Amino acid sequence: MEAADYEVLSVREQLFHDRVRECIISILLFATLYILCHIFLTRFKKPAEFTTVDDEDATVNKIALELCTFTLAVALGAVLLLPFSIISNEVLLSLPRNYYIQWLNGSLIHGLWNLVFLFSNLSLVFLMPFAYFFTESEGFAGSRKGVLGRVYETVVMLILLTLLVLGMVWVASAIVDNDKASRESLYDFWEYYLPYLYSCISFLGVLLLLVCTPLGLARMFSVTGKLLVKPRVCSAPCLLCAYI
C-alpha cells in the first residue's frame, strides 16, 4: 500500500471517529436532559391524574408521560443550545491548542442544531398532538377495547389535523406569497412549508409570552405584597402614651 493510500485511509478513519464521537456526545446530552425532565415531571405531577385502577388507562398515561418527557427534553435542549454554542466558541478561542477540548468543534454544534430542529418539528407536529389525542381517545365504536384501538383513533385524528393545518398553511402562503409555483405545488414541503409552520407557531408562542409575562410579574408582586408584613408608622405622642 502506497503512502497516498495510507493518507486517504487515515483521513477516512479520522472522519469516522469524529462522527462516532459526535453521536456519542449527542446521545449522552439528550439522555441527561431526558432524565432531568423525567425527574421534574414525576416530581411535580399530580398523583390523582396518573393513578387509576384500569390497566389500559395506566398504560396510556405512561406513554403520554414519556412523550411529554421527550418533548420537554427537546425544548430544554433548544433553549440551552445557544448558550452552549457561545460558551464552546469562547472556550475554543481561549484554548485553541488544547487537545482535550477539540471535540467542541463546529461540526458538533452544527449537528446539534440540526437534531434540535428535526426533533422540534417532530415534537410539535406529531408527538404533542399524539399525546393529547391519545389520552382523550376511547377507540372507535364497535372496535375492541385496548390500547391498539386508541392508537388507531389517535392516528386518524392526527392525520385529519395534519391535513387541516397543512391546508391552512398552504392557503396562507398562497395569499402572502406572489410566486405562482408556490401556490400550485406542495413538493417543497420539507424546505418551505414545514419551516414556515414552525415559524408561525414560534411567533404565536412569542406573542403568548409577551402577553403572559407582564401578567405573571404583576401577579408575583401582588402575592409578594400580601405575604410581606407592612411596617406600622407611629407618631411621637402615640409612642409616649404607649410608654406611660
CB burial of 88-106 (b: ≥16 within 10 Å; e: otherwise) equals beeeeeeeeeeeeeeebee
**pTM greater than the 0.85 cutoff:** no
Residue 166 predicted with pLDDT over 70: yes
Q: How confident is the model at residue 179 (pLDDT cuts 50, 70, 90)?
A: low
129 CB contacts (<8 Å, ≥6 apart)?
158, 161
* Segment 50-99, tens digit of pLDDT: 555 667 778 888 888 888 899 989 988 888 888 888 888 888 888 777 77
Query: Among 78-87, 96-105, 171-180, where is mean pLDDT lowest?
Result: 171-180
186 DSSP assignment: -
* Segment 113-130, tens digit of pLDDT: 888 888 888 888 788 888
**Is residue 209 classed as helix, strand or coil in its secondary structure?**
helix
Place of cell 388507531: 152
Q: Could you tell me what percentage of the chain is helix, strand and coil, using 3-state DSSP and rounding each to the nearest 5?
A: 85, 0, 15
What integer is the mean pLDDT of 219-232? 66
Evaluate whether 186 touches 170 at the Cβ level (below 8 Å).
Answer: yes
Residue 23 to residue 112: CA distance in whole angstroms: 10
Residue 177 predicted with pLDDT over 60: yes
What integer is the mean pLDDT of 21-38? 90
Evaluate whether 64 touches 79 at the Cβ level (below 8 Å).
Answer: no
DSSP string, 152-174: HHHHHHHHHHHHHHHHHHHHHHH
Residue 233 to residue 212: CA distance in whole angstroms: 36
What integer is the mean pLDDT of 90-115? 81
Domain boundaries, the chain: 1-123, 137-218
Question: Comparing 239 with 48, which gets the higher pLDDT?
Answer: 48
The one-letter amino acid at 115:
L
Query: Among 12-16, 107-111, 151-155, where is mean pLDDT lowest?
Result: 12-16
Residue 201 to residue 101: CA distance in whole angstroms: 37
Q: What is the pLDDT of residue 240?
A: 46
Residue 16 predicted with pLDDT over 60: yes
Q: What is the pLDDT of residue 243?
A: 46
Provide the grid cell at 18: 469524529
Q: What is the pLDDT of residue 196?
A: 67
CA distances from 69 to 35, 52, 125, 129, 147 (A): 9, 20, 16, 14, 20
